[in-house]
Amino acid sequence: MVGSVCSFLTNHPKMPAAVELRGIHKTYDNFIAVDHLSLKIREGSVYGLLGPNGAGKTSTIRMMIGITMPDDGELWLFGEKFHREQLQRIGYLPEERGLYKRMKVLDHVVFLGRLHGLSAAESRKRGLDWCERLQIDGWVHKKVEELSKGMQQKVQFIATLLHDPDLLILDEPFSGLDPANVVMLKDIMIELKKAGKTILFSTHRMDQVERLCESICLIDHGRSVLEGDLKRIKARYGKNTIHMQYEGEAPFDHSELIESVNDYGNYVELRLRPGADAQQLLRMACERSRISRFELVEPSLEEIFIDTVKPHA
């Protein structure tokens, strides 16, 4: 299976990581943005950097692309200690998108391509190809401000991808996108992954991470609270989550069987205490209300996220 091959590769000492943070530390005034964070992103993988707002995701990414320098710790990219030439192999899509409004689309794409080390002619050629593929080729000589928001997003993706980066860093890539653009971006990401590119995804949208990422790092207050292969993390939690559909009264009060509850009115998600018996809970629920569905599942990433982050809050 692919998973086992991948884990073999992860453990292989000679395989360089696309990104490796070793005890990265960053403070602003007295505020600790990133607290001795270590993580490793395997080349060719899709990696999710998760965390609530203000957890330190963007601060971490900014250090990976040389916008700020860590106070302490080491940053390795592609098996070498960080140096600025490596930035030409990285494509960065910031959370807050931005373009020069009054610049013409093609000029803008060429400018950013050249900043990433391409020649003017090459940037132009690639830019036109991408614009054609994303169906904005009729707009290349228009000013950015004349484009719709969706089209501006496409220009921004092109600017990120133009220099064919080996590592893509996407900060909340799907936020503010219409469904068509979400599908388009996802398709491009899968294509790039198949071509062996590494993709780092920073988000708090768990559903997308669950579908796309192989490994994750969950950070909170600048610290890593959960890191590793997504399948293994989920397996570690076991099938301790119950999805239950009911009618009438709530099927239970407090019970020592239950660790946490997320009640939606006629649908409830709850997690069992370690060692608790699901059958006992089902019997209890049947006595009080009509149960139309009762399912024992692995926890969703969202539940793991909320569960892991909550105690610190």
Partner 1 sequence: MHNSWLVIQREYLERIRSKAFIIMTLLMPVFMGSTILIPAFLSDMKSGVTRHIVLVASNAEIAEAVQKELTTPPAGNAEQRKAAPRYRVEMDSNTSEAERDKLRRDISDGKIDGFLWLSDSNLANRKVVYSAKDVTDFSENIELRNAVHSAVVKRQLGQKGMSEADVESVLEPIDFDSVRIEKGREGASGVAVFLVSFTMVMLLYVNVLVYGFAVMRSIIEEKTSRIMEVLLSSVTAKQLLAGKIIGVGAVGLTQALIWLAIAGALSIPRLGAAHSMLSNVRIPTVGIIAFAVFFLLGYFLYSTMYAALGAMVNSDQEAQQVQWPAMLPIIFSIVLSTPVLQHPNSALAFWTSMVPFFAPILMFVRIMAETPPLWQIALCIVLMLVTTWGLLGLSSRIYRVGILMYGKRPTLPELRRWLRYSG
Binding-site ranges for partner 1 (CB under 8 A): 28-29, 62, 65-69, 71, 84, 87-88, 90, 92, 94, 96-103, 107, 111-112, 114-116, 156, 159
What CA–CA distances, in Å, run from 121 to 2, 114, 290?
Answer: 40, 9, 69
Q: Give the other-Cβ count within 10 Å of 86's Cβ.
A: 19
Q: Which is nearer to partner 1, 55 or 301 (CB)?
A: 55
Q: How far is the CB of 45 from partner 1 (least distance, A)?
A: 21
Q: How far is the CB of 87 from partner 1 (least distance, A)?
A: 5
Q: How far is the CB of 77 from partner 1 (least distance, A)?
A: 13
For residue 81 the two structure tokens come to 């200690």
Q: Which distant-in-sequence residues (6+ apart) come within 8 Å of 102 by Cβ?
A: 143, 144, 145
Round the CA-based radius of gyration of the chain to a whole number and report it: 23
- Going 208 to 212 to 218 to 220, the CA torsion angle's sign is negative
Q: How far is the CB of 94 from partner 1 (least distance, A)?
A: 4
Q: How far is the CB of 95 from partner 1 (least distance, A)?
A: 8
Q: Which is nearer to partner 1, 46 or 65 (CB)?
A: 65
Q: Which is nearer to partner 1, 99 or 218 (CB)?
A: 99
**Backbone phi, psi, residue 41, to 5°:** -115, 115
Q: Which is nearer to partner 1, 107 or 302 (CB)?
A: 107
Q: Which is nearer to partner 1, 83 or 293 (CB)?
A: 83
What CA–CA distances, in Å, run from 305 to 48, 95, 170, 209, 284?
Answer: 12, 21, 20, 12, 28
